[in-house]
Chain A
Amino acid sequence: DIQMTQSPSSLSASVGDRVTITCRASQSISSYLNWYQQKPGKAPKLLIYAASSLESGVPSRFSGSGSGTDFTLTISSLRPEDFATYSCQQTYSSPLFTFGPGTKVEIK
């Protein structure tokens, strides 16, 4: 089974900060990696698919990069509505999917 890890598990940042979240797969998954945003009490929202493709309607301050085992989600300039939990998901072994444990982005 492919395991996913994320770092950090949480971070504190200010509006306007550049934020980077890392996701690592236990084996190479090429670019089969998605990122989701989840706010408290709400369903996840797809942000990035195929490691670096921006989902329609998602602001361009969000970007994804990486391939193989190491991936990053970057928010170029944090906005108040970006405070949420971000999770990665591997789809390499589709339809056996795995999510990362999540990274909570909090207000400093």
Chain B
Amino acid sequence: EVQLVESGGGLVQPGGSLRLSCEASGFTFTIYNMNWVRQAPGKGLEWVSYIGSSSSTIYYADSVKGRFTISRDNAKNSLYLQMNSLRAEDSAVYYCARVIIRGNHDAFDIWGQGTTVTVSS
């Protein structure tokens, strides 16, 4: 079964750090570009970060640039998000999502179940 499973969420104080993980199975992780997407309570989806299949291309949303670091370990079929200097507004469900390319169009075809991050004192 093709799936992504996130872990690492939890309660953290403002200014703290957290590392999210996303483990892939059922497909050849090494050839796919990956993303992190978050959703604050009652809000819409917000793209957070992208990493290419070989980690050579990395992008961040302005809202997290300089604080979050995306990485992957293809030998472990795993995607990571290191989150530092956390703020209350970073509280959200964080999803990892696989990019599929059809023609020259990207789409997020496989999503994890999400892991919840709460930033509060």
Query: Which A residues lie at the B interface, using CB under 8 A?
Result: 1, 31-32, 34, 36, 38, 42-46, 49-50, 53, 55, 87, 89, 91, 94-102
Contact = CB atoms under 8 A, between A and B. Distances in A.
Nearest to A56: B109
A12 to B, nearest CB: 18
How big is chain B's contact interface, by range? 20 to 34
B46 interface: yes
Main secondary structure on B side of the interface with A: strand
Nearest to A94: B106
Nearest to A44: B111
10 contacts: A43-B114, A49-B105, A50-B105, A89-B45, A91-B107, A95-B52, A95-B99, A96-B61, A99-B44, A99-B46
Nearest to B49: A95
Main secondary structure on A side of the interface with B: loop
A50 B111 contact: no
B120 interface: no
The 5 closest A-B pairs by CB, nearest first: A43-B111, A95-B50, A49-B107, A99-B45, A50-B105
Interface centre among B52, B109, B113 (most CB of A within 10 A): B109
A89 B108 contact: yes
Given A43-B111, A89-B108, A97 B102 contact: no
Given A44-B45, A87-B45, A95 B33 contact: yes
